[in-house]
Amino acid sequence: MEPERGFTPPLERLPVLLQRADAAAAGDARRAATAELNAVLGQMARYPSRPAADLLLRWLDQGALKDLQDAEGLTARAAATAAVLSMGYPYALEISPDDLDHLRARSAAVRGPGGAVGALMMMVVTSLIAVVQLATEPGVQGVGNAVGLLVAMMAAVVVMLSSGRRRRWAAIALLVSGLVAMSLALGGTTALLAPALGAMAAFAMGWPRPKG
């Protein structure tokens, strides 16, 4: 299937969008330009590659995104961190702890229903990465356990859309499932690495905290 005429891959658009956001005056224009940048960053899970990950990781290391935030409160730094995380193995392992902390902190601001929706999207993306890897790599060990864990994690994150005590227990179940998935990934079932990291990020996004 040939690409649509006029289509520009996200990787080629990102430098232009960053330059536009940097050049925009403070206020609505800057927030609008950052929103456009964040929207393209949100598409990067569909285009995982070494060049894309290197570009985003370099921007994060250099602090190139630190002053950019859209009208919804999403920073370009958090969007870029989530983009690299969604690319899965091995790129997600190269994110710095500071950037992960930033993503967690920004997610805390939307830990209402929006935070749970973000957690759901994170698990959907990383689970799809795992399913593709399980389906395309021959001789993958522990396929039954992997599928069972994916189902459990998806069920937990769906329950996190509710409120009250059920949401807390679902978040704990998601975290435990993520830790089990990480153990299996380190033991050889590498397809579970992306959803394991995704479960931990989703836990941070969706864990309910009292407002204050």
Confidence of residue 55 (pLDDT cuts 50, 70, 90): very high
Q: In the chain, how long is the greatest CA-to-CA distance?
A: 54
Q: Which long-range contacts (CB under 8 A, 24 or more apart) does 157-166 make?
A: 157/116, 157/119, 157/120, 157/123, 157/199, 157/202, 157/206, 158/120, 160/116, 160/119, 160/120, 160/202, 160/206, 161/113, 161/116, 161/117, 161/120, 163/208
CA 86 vs. chain centroid, Å, equals 4
Confidence of residue 169 (pLDDT cuts 50, 70, 90): confident
Q: Please tell me the predicted confidence (pLDDT) of residue 60.
A: 93
Q: Please tell me the predicted confidence (pLDDT) of residue 108.
A: 55
Is pLDDT of 212 > 70? no
Average pLDDT over residues 154-177: 79
Tokens 């905290």 correspond to 209
Q: What percent of the chain has pLDDT over 90?
A: 6
Confidence of residue 116 (pLDDT cuts 50, 70, 90): low
Domain ranges of the chain: 10-108, 113-206
Is pLDDT of 2 > 70? no
Confidence of residue 67 (pLDDT cuts 50, 70, 90): confident
Q: How far apart are CA 95 and CA 147, in angstroms?
A: 26
- Asked which of 22-31, 67-76, 111-120 is least confident by mean pLDDT, the reply is 111-120
Q: Please tell me the predicted confidence (pLDDT) of residue 58.
A: 94
- Asked which of 4-13, 99-108, 130-139, 193-202 is least confident by mean pLDDT, the reply is 4-13
Is pLDDT of 183 > 80? yes
Q: What is the mean pLDDT of the chain?
A: 78
CA angle at 113 for the pair 110 and 114, rounded to the nearest 5°? 45
